[in-house]
A and B are shown apart, each in its own frame.
Chain A
Amino acid sequence: MPALVALGDSPLAGRSWSAGRLASSLTRDPLFAAAACTLLLVALAALFAPWLAPFDPDRPIDMAARAQPPSAQHWFGTDTLNRDLLSRILFGARISLAVSLLSVAVAMLMGTAWGAIAGYAGGWIDALLMRVVDAGLAIPRILLLLSIVSLWGTLTMPAIIVVLGFTGWFGASRLVRDGVRASKERDYAVAARASGATPFRVLVRHVLPHALTPMLVAATLGVGHVVVIEAGLSFLGYGVAPPAATWGTLIRDGRENVATAWWLSVFPGLALAITVLAINVLGDRLRTALGGRQLPAP
């Protein structure tokens, strides 16, 4: 009996793809390589912003001059308070990326828990939980976020992370729920149940690992989505509180000076667009690489 359980215990048992094969199929793809390199550069730029930034992002260079166009000294120009835009974008990357990654982590945890319970319990619990998901998906996310901001007032960074996470788990929970339903009656799960494992253990050790493969894609694309949503919230003036600049707040600054200083909206927007494009390519390629090799429905 223990031997039987041990076989089913390995999270890789039953998966027909391996990390190595996934990696080798992806590295042959030049577009994937370009996207991965871009993201690596963006991540490194965010991580080492204090060492890479040529100027202090928050200190005006020279009070007299303001909003200088790009030059050899200030590659991306300066803003209306004459702060170096390149430095501000580098520091903005830290907040934008940190908020996005953490909120997607929150969303994935919530979505996994919710979807796992719905899929494993089945019956009316499943129906009830999934109708809540339908309702959550029916409210456009930016409007849900705006109504939360209108009720809660200005949000601190941890609050933004939680709120973005809590409004972003609906789709993921449906994926997990479908995955759990597909694998809970398969032989390894039945065997585990027969050998006396508790429902919680069966779910977490035997069923859930098989349901999480599509989450890899969902999480990747989710980061791309939330980077834009967070920037959009800041763009509307309801994002992370002012002293900290995210890419969204920088674009908002640019909007106010759109007629006089094009660089203020173009460069932060480019940083945002390039990052999102790279994430989308990555997610898309991951999906193709994993596609068809996910667990088939029983």
Chain B
Amino acid sequence: MASIVLKRVAQGLLIVWLTTTITFFLIHAAPGEPFASLLEDPRLTDEMRAATRARYGLDRPVTEQYVRYLRAVSTGDFGDSFIHHRPVVAILGDAVPRTMLLMATALVIGFAAGIALGALQGARAGSWFDRLTGSTAVLLAALPDFWLALLVVMLFAGTWLPVSGFSTPTLPASAPMMTRTLDVLRHLILPAGTLALLIAAMVSRFQRAALIDILPSAWLRTARAKGVATRSVVFRHALRNAFLPIITLGGLAVPALLGGAVFVEATFNWQGMGSLAVQAVGDHDYPVVLAVVLLSSAFVVLGAALADVAQAAADPRQRRA
């Protein structure tokens, strides 16, 4: 068990290092000077430009810059935002918890709903309920996330559920904690609901397939032969084992989730990592963009590693690997 964790941590670090390297070369392969937006100001004298280049180490050889970049990133230093003139880390400190709140809510609701729906479908495979909800899920999964979000905005605009933002801007910071929390939760309902709907559609398909795979197996037949009720067979015995693919799915779905969060955040104006990245791209504020990319890949690696470890914890057969 410990060796699996260690192996996964080593693999994860390797991947994060590789993504860091890829982003470094992305910067250096870009046409023109990477810090052009800082340097092209016509009011700057040549000396000031040289000073700026020296300050960011741009006058050093690429290999040295690469080592410096790795060292900075590994200590969590992503530099300063070109636009906000604040450390990127401080900006992320505001945005990341909001994205985590959105994703965690959507994940919990989406997985709970998806697992329940998939189990019901799998237990009654071929019934009208299975076919109706199944085709609805396929339909939902094919809908572009940003378009679904837009439809939700269209449907709910003007109702008491806010379709934009993270909180009510007019609410004073001095308002009671309870009021402010409820305000954020009210803003959370639609974006989290949209993401959860997409997650539930995907999870239910996997849960249904996993349950159908496992229902004919010998030990379940034995349980049934010994007189265990169908409901109990499905919910106590089968679901537990059909859970394994879902754990993997949860870990592997992180990239798709983060991608979906970008669109959902942008559409609902939820001020998280996704909105931040989209905004920063428009501002050519690429220290922020790259920090979001690196952080996301770290989340992805973490998700995959956690899924592996959870798999090993849930299924003793995999601990030998």
Contact = CB atoms under 8 A, between A and B. Distances in A.
Interface stretch (A2-10, A37-45, A127-135, A176-184): A127-135
B307 interface: no
Interface string B23-44: 1001100110010000000000
A276 to B, nearest CB: 5
B144 A232 contact: yes
Given A139-B297, A237-B282, A258-B153, A151 B26 contact: yes
B14 A276 contact: no
Q: Which of B21, B255, B304 has the most CB of A within 10 A?
A: B255
Contacts of A259: 154, 157-158
B19 A138 contact: yes
B262 A228 contact: no
Contacts of B255: 137-141
A272 B144 contact: yes
A190 interface: no
A167 B31 CA distance: 18
A255 interface: yes
Interface in A149-166: 149-153
Interface in B245-260: 255-256, 258-259
A266 B152 CA distance: 11
A65 interface: no
Contacts of B270: none
A251 B145 CA distance: 12
B290 A147 contact: yes
A151 B289 CA distance: 9
Given A152-B31, A236-B266, A139 B144 contact: no
Secondary structure call for the B interface: helix
Contacts of A249: none
A270 to B, nearest CB: 9
B301 interface: yes
B201 to A, nearest CB: 12
A214 interface: no
A143 interface: yes
B22 A135 contact: yes
A142 interface: yes
Nearest to A144: B293
A139 B19 contact: yes
A7 to B, nearest CB: 39
B15 A138 contact: yes
A139 B296 contact: yes
Contacts of A135: 15, 18-19, 21-22, 297
Contacts of B293: 139, 143-144, 147
B70 to A, nearest CB: 14
A209 interface: no
A72 to B, nearest CB: 24
Contact of A273 (B11, B19, B142): B142
B265 to A, nearest CB: 11
Contacts of B27: 151
A69 interface: no
Contact of B281 (A149, A251, A254, A266): A149
B157 A258 contact: yes
Given A131-B14, A150-B286, A140 B144 contact: no
A146 interface: yes
A280 B138 contact: yes
Contacts of A265: 147, 150-151, 154
Contacts of B150: 251, 254-255, 258, 265, 269
Contact of B259 (A138, A142, A251): A142
B144 A143 contact: no
Given A255-B267, A273-B147, A276-B142, A142 B262 contact: yes
Given A236-B278, A238-B281, A147 B286 contact: yes
Given A141-B255, A259-B154, 15 more contacts: A131-B14, A135-B19, A137-B300, A139-B22, A140-B259, A140-B297, A146-B281, A152-B30, A228-B144, A232-B145, A232-B146, A238-B282, A258-B157, A266-B154, A277-B142
